Chains A and B, each alone.
Chain A
């Protein structure tokens, strides 16, 4: 196991589109272990994508359970060749990135997603994800297509209130 070097913006390699994984062998398992260790070493990181460490294959490692505040999650998981087959809603949230140190910004993401993915052995799974975990997957999947959250920034001003809070307020006002 090893902590891998993270590519940082504006390294042009981060704009590269990654290829699907076709061979699920021991080399892949060793890389996944390194990716996990690298994510855990990143300050505050809850996810990482293979191209962030210079391997341009469609591999993500995520763990939304590591958020300080408890959020709905599927725990620690490796996602290989992930595809979002359905998405619902949209909301603004604050994102940062291991590849863009010392900067965070607001990004609009789908609130709920249906994700089809393979696991480390190549077995197919379907997951329903929402909120922070859905945002995390969308953020990491962008890396597979050479996109960073910087490419999706919206104004930091006035944009992070969730609908349920407005409902609470509406009932107070009525």
Chain B
């Protein structure tokens, strides 16, 4: 029976990495589950669910050459491959403001206290080098309702000098 692994790759971004890495995995007998690739500050990052019948060591051997070719660091962990069990978020929140240390900790802290279970988080630093702007998007489940989160965001706006937006996600099933 196949085992699920989480394989992560980090390195300087170059074109062609995804194609070569996924080809190496396919040729090595792996099947991919869900994956998320993003560039963070010009760095290439990808996390992939990999199903493979061999050992962890054999999986590392499969990806060794491509990691060397693209100078990638990789990491492999055994995981539970829980596919077909997506959890749907019911609220979307954005926070933006002048960049400074502590925004994520403050925002996620007050939101967690108000009952937010975070399912997705993405943050970007935009603006100019001398005047960076921080933008954060969160999706999650408002376990104690949207009103509680709205109140938490009002406090966050006052204390941190950031702007926030919150919208329920009305997922249509039809």
The count of chain A contact residues (Cβ–Cβ below 8 Å) is: 38
The count of chain B contact residues (Cβ–Cβ below 8 Å) is: 20
Q: Mark A123-148, 1 if CB is under 8 A from B, else 0.
A: 00000000010011001100000000
User: Which residues of chain B are near A67, meaning CB under 8 Å?
Assistant: 170
- Chain B interface mostly: strand
In the complex, whether A22 has a CB less than 8 A from a CB of chain B is no
In the complex, whether A5 has a CB less than 8 A from a CB of chain B is no
Contact B172 A95 (CB under 8 A): yes
In the complex, whether B160 has a CB less than 8 A from a CB of chain A is no
Binding site for B on A (CB under 8 A): 42-49, 62, 67-69, 71, 93-98, 101-104, 132, 135-136, 139-140, 157-158, 160-162, 165-166, 169, 172-173
Q: Give 6 nearest A-B pairs by CB, closest first.
A: A47-B174, A44-B173, A94-B171, A95-B172, A96-B173, A139-B174
Binding site for A on B (CB under 8 A): 84-86, 88, 92, 94, 122, 137, 157, 163, 165-174
Q: Apart from A46-B173, A93-B170, A96-B172, list 20 A-B contacts with CB within 8 A.
A: A42-B173, A45-B174, A47-B172, A49-B174, A62-B174, A68-B170, A93-B172, A94-B170, A94-B171, A98-B173, A98-B174, A102-B84, A132-B170, A132-B172, A158-B94, A160-B169, A161-B92, A162-B167, A165-B165, A165-B167
